[in-house]
Structure 1
Amino acid sequence: MKKLFAYLSKANLMLWALMLGIVVGLIFGERVQWLSPVGAAFIKLMQITIFPYIVVSLVVGLGKFEPSQVRSIILKAVVVMLSLWGLGIFVIWCFAFTLPHHDAGTFFSSALVAIRPDIDFVAQYIPANPFASMAQGNVPALVVFCIALGMALMGNVRKSSLLNILDVLGEGLSVISKKMIKIFPIGIFAITASTAGTISLEQINNLQVYLVLVVLTALFLIFVLLPLLVSAITPVAYKDIINIARNALITAFTTGNVFITLPVITEGIKDYMHKKNIADAQSDHIAEVLVPIAFTFPSLGKLTTLIFVAFSAWLTGHEIGFEEVPSLTLTALLSYFANVHIAIPYLLDAARVPADAYQLYLAMSVLTAKFVSPTSVAYIISFTLLSIFYIRSEISFKRVKTVFNLGIIGAILPSLMLVAFMLNSKLSESGSASDEVIANMQVAKQVPADVLSYVPKAYEAGQLSLTNIEVIKKRNLLRVGYIAENAPFSYFNRKHELVGFDISLAHELAADLEVKVEFIPFKKDQLAQYLNKGFFDIAMSGLEINVRDLEKVTYSDPVLELQLALVTKDHRMKEFSSREKILAHKSVSFANVEHQPFLKKISQQQPNLKFESIDNYRDFFEGNSQYDALVISAEAAFSWTMFYPDFGVVVPKNVSSKYPIGFAVAKRHLDLNNYFNSWLDIKQANGKVQKFYDYWILGKGSKVNVKRWSIIDQVTGK
């Protein structure tokens, strides 16, 4: 304890700022949200010198070497990098495979149908315009340019004049960075306080299994594997490694930004070497060159996001097998040369995970960056130190400390894996299953309503077939036709209440008309008959607006535009992942509830594709597996797979088919349809349609939001 207080009593203002920020955030909660812009301003201040610092460090560092030295340095640095990659990837997959059994299912996301960007390695690494690369923040291309310029200067006899100028510039940039670091505790405090005060418990609970894996993996890499490995085979002590990394780790943890720590890392390594009197003519230059290079290449911090890919596969029922590890690992190493936000969708696609899982990554990145970024810092420091001592031929595996440290690593890894498995098993059991979420959703605004399971005999005589707004108001009743099994547009929840996107719109329409609402069931093939006989005034149940029915009923303007997709068993999703793979089948049988005209044309063009109409979607999920897949909208498909997690959703590549849905009235009720269209325009303009879409289709707000907890609220009772 005395050592702890002695350590804290030193001038380590960043650590104090970090702890104080957490305390303030917990005490005041959302009241300190105003500090967020202050933290953002400090991050921008730190970024001022980064790009010039990279340019000067690389050009000067490489330029001062002789050509004969570079080959040996590069080869040894490559050996160190590959070794760290191998060890780190092994650890990452060890933790990834501790995921317990899970009942999968999630809501639809618009990212599912978005165009997935291809990774353009040429644009990332070939600097057609190095100044544009600097302006656009394209670090890899800038590093390539600087390496080329630095190596070109090696053999130039007049290089000293330029290098001296750049050296002076580098010293100036270093002074600026150090001055910034002195005032950065203010930024650390502001960022930490605003984050601790505003981050919701729901954000943590939603993806707590992934968070557990990321935290344990990061802690193992940062404080066990990397420092113990460096300490085991180099003269650097464990505590010295932690001291070198301390400020950079705190900065990376607080900001979630590795880029701004590069000068801190470089200066920390150089200061340590000089204080210990082990610096030589090369060590400073090597550090200045290798730190930005290590940042440019895939780091272990970036590679820890492989856990997210494994987690997403687990969450959506597409568990990754051992046989897929080599190909995914190679894909990750190649794709992480690009921006991580380009690489993640690419990896999700390679792992057969719907691309909408990327939205989960964005939602959690605020939290996980607090651990991923420090992991990258620990990797860069370890890589640089190992490379320096390897180049100096001071790496040794014959120390007693080597055996001892490796033994500690070997003991802690399985222990933490066991902790991860047990903790996540408990969290999975305590969490709500996905079907519980959608089954408990409710219509927020309701008017007095009756939900019938049949058509009343009084309606069968056809006396109510002539309807207009005046008649509806006079009888004080809006009659709405619905389809019982059509989630998320109309279905029965756990309380056997009729709910869904269209049901919410029906209640909204009845409220505006100031009348009651009555829901009357029908099947798809009964739509025209029931409307024209006057069994109900309007049909509102996710109805496809198709050419075949235009002569029989009158459709409203489109309410939504949906994306056609397929649902199949999880293990068969890859068979339907693209148009080419579907057509490669000798014979494949699809079930469908609607889209008959469109599917008939496809069947005529492709005789190997068979389509058969079924009464409702539940027949496909609960019937005998006589069909290979179900044709359905992606928006509805995700809702159904929440009830039936053994099935998965596929939007095949090179197949883009969208269709509109809307309301329907009897063919002769043009005035009624005009009213509904105008009403719909108003609801789209005031955001009601979007609100219902966000809730029923995207699942936003499907879980009750709890006010952010804070100590001051507990004390005051607010």
Structure 2
Amino acid sequence: MAISRPLRILQAGQDLGVVRIDRGATWLAPARLFLRQNLAIQILEGLVAGILVGRLLPASALAPLSGLGDGFIRLFQMPVLPFLSVSLIAGVGRLQFAQASRLLGRSALVLIGFWLVVLLAVLLVPLGFPSWHDASFFKPSLLQAPKPLDLTELFIPVNPFAAFAETQIPAVVLFSLALGIALIAVPKRQPLIDVFDRIAEALLGISAFVARFTPLGVFAILATASASIESSQLPRLAVYVVLQGGIALLLAGLFLPLVIAGVTPIPVRQLLRSFRTPLTIAFATANMLVVLPILVELSKTLLYEARAAHLAPGVSEQELKDQVDLPVEVLAPLALVFPDMGRLLSLAFVPFAGWLTGNSISLQEMPGFLLTGLASAFLEGILAMTFLLDRMGLPSDLVQLYIAIDQLAVARLGTLLACMSVIALVIIGTWVSLEGFPKRFRRLVPAATALAVFPGFVLLSRVGFQLLPKPVNSARDQLMHQDFALAKGRAPVVQGWTPVDQPGDWQAIRRAQAIRYCVHEQDYPMAYRNADGELVGADVEMGMLFAKQMGLKPSYVLIDRIGNENDPRPDGLQALERGYCDLKLSSDVMAPMQAARTRFTDAHLTYGVALLIKGSALSSKRQWSDLVEVQGLRVGLGFEAPFLLRLVAGWLPQAKFISSQGTDALLKALQEGRLDAVLVTAQQGASWNVLQPNLTLLVPQPLKSLPAARQLPWKSAALAGVWNAWLRFQEMDGTRQTVYRHWVEGIELRKDKS
């Protein structure tokens, strides 16, 4: 008979409770083996298992894990802000004014030095990107105006409780510092400080309890994160991981230990050996808070030993302890609040996002980007990254990619660097507050020499990437092979120019049980021929769905965007007036004066105005006001309606405008240097950018928007009414949004194969 026995589990020095295991159940053997391992090994196994499950299982099976991972992160974050606040209040409140001034002033100089080094590293990262031109589908966030960075609101809280509720860390820090400094002047403050100490211990207890479930949380997070990354993205993501991860390792394992050894008597080998265990745990969990107490105690121990060997005989142990404890206990929470080197190094994702989407950040923009990045680093990581992507004119949707690769790899290396930077700040800040800065800088020569390794590593990485086969342009491949999202069958194309009997007349359409559409050719992603020669696109699919639900047979006529006397193919107005189709299906910008000759359906889409450019000459011109100052600007236009020409001329009064047969001809002129920019809609420009990734899609601010609709013959009021009513149903059940996102945003759908 099976015998059940209790097993008390001890991991990482903590009692996790009693688990009753049935020794007779052999299927529980893996569970018994897992529970007997230490916490760090369990976390690593959860990490590997999460990646494997995320890559192997379908997204629908992983849905429950998303909530589990989100709940784990929220539990871990719950005690962080209160802990930082009470620790800072208690630590500063213990100090004397002169001591606080010396400690904080000298530590601030050390912190600024660390910031300068890591921002220099961020500046080097783009030099390692290989010349793999690529672009992405349209992102809705391109049409969202960037939110301004209000440093006053960020740092100065009107209501401290609101700052806690909204996780405004800089405001919470300022409030806590002010309260701690005010406590210095309060007599008999020690009982209150003791209360804050007990609260901090209780909050750390919450973190320690949640840390017991880290293997499960890491498994859930990594499963959902790895599932969100497409295999085609891996080569390009590897570029970012190698560059940022390599720099993080060089900073954490080489530069910072050499700086500590240069300023203090603590040798590099002793330093790394002492902090080996907490650094391993921090790397595995990607969370520095769980090892904070260990970092504090080990820092005190190393400083005790260094000070004891440095001071003259006769100094008591208690006096030595008092000299070290207070600075360490003040600097440790402060180091967590101010941007650490790991957090600042993550700014390298923004230049990477620009390279990934074909919108690289120019050298002229780098100083502003670094300063803005330093200020935004006081925000929570995801909020800061969203703000920076918006600020630099990049799709903020890329923050999802940032989260995924951060959780998979970069966050662990970043946490390792963050831990070492906290250790360095605490040890060096404490030492220089007691002993002053070193008078001889020869001991810092090894650390200065180590800085030369960074550009060498970046350039060698670039050379290595260049030797690898260039990854496939997955977005282009998808665009040219994409099938309809919902519609079935093929879109038949009519050859020749045979007029329709009673064009646009709904009753005639019903009698013939057929409807003919006009669409622009090569109107990516709305109507175009794919790699198989089939007519596809968002407008084409909506026409197929309308015909299907109305019991009609669809057919399509290909027209030009601008008429040409030497070409028999008509433009949209000519096709409608000559009766070649019942409905011009292409989603074109509404030109008011054309309403006197044709009928418009209701506006169903809002286009954002963008420019396709080549090279870096205009890449930093992110405002319309900047473009206005460019003399002799040559801009290509894919339309010639007088109203639209006057509208665009108002935006760029100094520019010279050139019209052409279509966007493809304009882009050829841009590639050959005969144009400086081509004005397009952001939605369509993104698809053209996918096809020609050496170009850059620029969405100038403030955003300019244009309404889009479809056109019909003037006497087609009934057909217009039927179409508008039908489209409202497609809006309500999500059909239009599904088709739009499939073609414009490149979101592939898994069809039911039954």
TM-score range, shorter chain: 0.7 to 0.9
- Cα pair distance change 1:412/1:598, threshold 3 Å: closer
Contact in 1 for aligned 2:628/2:653 (Cα 8 Å): no
Among residues 372, 376, 379, which one is paired with 2:421 in the alignment? 379
What is residue 713 of structure 1 aligned with on the other side?
Answer: none
Within 5 A, what are the aligned runs for 1:327-338?
A: 327-338=368-379
Counterparts in 2 of 1:610 and 1:92: CA distance versus 1, 3 Å: closer
Residue 534 (structure 1) aligned to one of 579, 585, 592: 579
Could you say if the C-alpha distance between residues 545 and 423 of structure 1 is closer, same or farther in structure 2, counting changes exceeding 3 Å?
same
Q: Give yes or no for the alignment of 1:22 onto 2:67.
A: no
Deviations 1:305-328 (A, max 9, x none): 332222133234454566655454
Give RMSD over aligned pairs: 3.8
Residues 114-158 of structure 1, C-alpha deviation per residue, up to 9 Å, x if partnerless?
1211111111111222222222222211211222222233244x1
Counterpart CA distance in 2 for 1:681 and 1:85 is 54
1:488-499 to structure 2, matched below 5 A, reads: 488-499=525-536
For 1:248 and 1:105, the matched residues in 2 are separated by 38
Contact kept in structure 2, 1:253 and 1:369, CA below 8 Å: no
- Preserved contact between residue 231 and residue 238 of structure 1 (Cα < 8 Å): no
**Residue from 703, 708, 713 that aligns with 1:666:** 713
CA positional deviation for 1:262: 5.1
SS in 1 for 2:101: helix
Q: Is the CA contact 1:103–1:434 (under 8 Å) kept in the aligned structure 2?
A: no
Is 1:650 the counterpart of 2:680 in the alignment? no
Match of 1:714 in 2: none
- Match among 607, 616, 620 for residue 662 of structure 2: 616
Corresponding residue for residue 191 of structure 2:
164
Q: Distance in 2 between matches of 1:237 and 1:496?
A: 65
Aligned to 1:3: none
Q: Counterpart of 2:193 in structure 1: which amino acid?
A: L
**Is the 1:455–1:521 Cα contact (8 Å) retained in structure 2?**
no
1:312-711 residue pairs with structure 2 within 5 A?
312-320=353-361, 325-341=366-382, 343-344=384-385, 347-348=388-389, 360-361=401-402, 364-367=405-408, 368-393=410-435, 409=450, 413=454, 416-417=457-458, 420-422=461-463, 424-425=465-466, 429-432=470-473, 434-444=475-485, 445-452=487-494, 454-456=495-497, 459-460=498-499, 464-469=501-506, 471-472=508-509, 474-524=511-561, 525=563, 526-574=571-619, 576-594=621-639, 596-601=642-647, 603=649, 608-623=654-669, 624-654=672-702, 656-701=703-748
Shift of 1:618: 1.0
Distance 1:359 1:176, change over 3 A: closer
Match of 2:525, SS? coil
What's the TM-score, normalizing by structure 2?
0.81
Does the CA-based 8 Å contact 1:490-1:541 persist in structure 2?
yes
Q: Using the alignment, how far apart are the partners of 1:693 and 1:363 within structure 2?
A: 25
Supply the distance in 1 between the matched residues of 2:683 and 2:593 (Cα, whole angstroms).
Answer: 23
CA 1:170–1:259: 2 relative to 1, 3 Å: same
> In 1, Cα distance between the equivalents of 2:35 and 2:274?
12
* Matched-pair contact (CA < 8 Å) for 2:65–2:223: no
Which stretches in structure 2 are left out of the alignment for 5+ residues? Answer: 1-11, 14-32, 309-319, 564-570
* Cα distance change, pair 121–32 in 1 and its aligned pair in 2 (3 A): same
Give SS of 2:137's match.
coil
Question: 2-side partners of 1:359 and 1:22: how far apart?
Answer: 19
| CA distance in structure 2 between the partners assigned to 1:698 and 1:295 by the alignment | 39
% same residue: 23
Secondary structure of the structure 2 residue equivalent to 1:174: helix
Tell whether the 8 Å contact from 2:389 to 2:395 is kept in structure 1 after alignment. yes
Distance 1:521 1:381 in 2: 67
- 2:98 pairs, out of 68, 75, 84, with 68
Q: 1:680 to 1:386 in 2, by over 3 A?
A: same
Higher deviation after alignment, 162-171 or 380-389 = 162-171
User: Partner residue of 1:113?
Assistant: 143
Instruction: Give the TM-score taking structure 1 as reference length.
Output: 0.84
Q: Residues 519, 253 of structure 1: CA spacing in aligned structure 2 closer, same or farther, 3 A cutoff?
A: farther
Give the counterpart letter for 2:352 in structure 1. Answer: F
3-state DSSP of counterpart to 1:451: coil
Q: Which moved more, 1:262-271 or 1:370-379?
A: 262-271
1:217 match: 247
Question: 1:590 deviation in Å?
Answer: 2.7
Aligned partner of 1:288 among 329, 332, 341: 329
Compared with structure 1, are the counterparts of its residues 38 and 448 closer, same or farther at alpha carbon in structure 2 (3 Å cutoff)?
closer
**Deviations 1:458-499 (CA, angstroms, capped at 9, x unpaired):** x24x6x134545544554533111110211111222222222
**Equivalent residues in 2 for 1:186-201 (5 A)?**
186-196=213-223, 199-200=226-227, 201=229
Given the superposition, is the C-alpha separation of residues 238 and 179 from structure 1 closer, same or farther in structure 2, using an over 3 Å criterion? farther
Separation (CA, whole Å) in 2 of partners of 1:316 and 1:428: 19
8 Å CA contact 1:479–1:537 kept in 2: the answer is yes
Q: Which moved more, 1:173-182 or 1:51-60?
A: 173-182
Q: In the TM superposition, what is the alpha-carbon distance from 1:99 to its structure 2 partner?
A: 1.0
The one-letter code sitting in structure 2 at the alignment partner of 1:558 is: A
The SS at the match of 1:663 is strand
Distance 1:239 1:9 in 2: 32
CA contact (8 A) 1:23 1:193 kept: no
Aligned residue number for residue 712 of structure 1? none
- Tell me the SS of whatever aligns to 1:305: helix
CA contact (8 A) 1:245 1:378 kept: no
How far does residue 350 in structure 1 lie from its aligned partner after superposition?
Answer: 6.8
Distance 1:265 1:692, change over 3 A: farther
Cα distance in 1 between the residues matched to 2:459 and 2:35: 37
Distance 1:468 1:259 in 2: 71
CA distance in 2 between counterparts of 1:272 and 1:174 reads 23
Distance in 1 of aligned mates of 2:523 and 2:713: 21
SS of equivalent residue, structure 1 residue 540:
strand
Report the secondary structure of 2:91's partner residue: helix
Question: What secondary structure, in the 3-state scheme, does the structure 1 residue paired with 2:526 have?
Answer: coil
Aligned counterpart, 2:5: none
Q: Is the 8 A contact 2:504 2:715 kept in 1?
A: no
Mean Cα deviation higher: 323-332 or 213-222: 323-332
| 1-structure distance, mates of 2:395, 2:70 | 33
Partner deviation per Cα, 1:195-226 (whole Å, 9 max, x = no partner): 24762251762633223323323333333333
Q: Is the 8 A contact 1:318 1:570 kept in 2?
A: no
CA distance in 2, matches of 1:10, 1:84: 40
TM-aligned CA deviation for residue 16 of structure 1 = 2.1
Name the structure 2 match of 1:716. none
**Could you report, residue by residue, the CA deviation over 1:7-37 in whole angstroms, capped at 9, with x for unpaired residues?**
9999983302212313443565546764554
Q: Which residue of 1 aligns with 2:174?
A: 144
The DSSP-based 3-state class of the residue aligned with 2:230 is helix
**Structure 1 residue aligned with 2:8:** none
Give the drift of 1:562.
Answer: 0.9
Q: Helix, strand or coil: the match of 1:282?
A: helix
Counterpart residue number, 2:211? 184
**For residue 654 of structure 2, what is the amino acid of its counterpart?**
N
How far apart in 2 are the matches of 1:271 and 1:558?
A: 71
**1:387 offset after TM fit, Å?**
1.4
* Cα deviation code 1:229-249 (max 9, x no counterpart): 435543265465465474476
CA distance in 1, matches of 2:413, 2:116: 20
d(CA) in 2 for partners of 1:514 and 1:337? 59
Q: CA deviation at 1:89?
A: 2.8
- Give me the whole-angstrom Cα distance separating, in 2, the residues matched to 1:337 and 1:176: 22
Task: Give the secondary-structure state (helix, strand or coil) at the position aligned to 1:488.
Answer: coil
The SS at the match of 2:470 is: helix
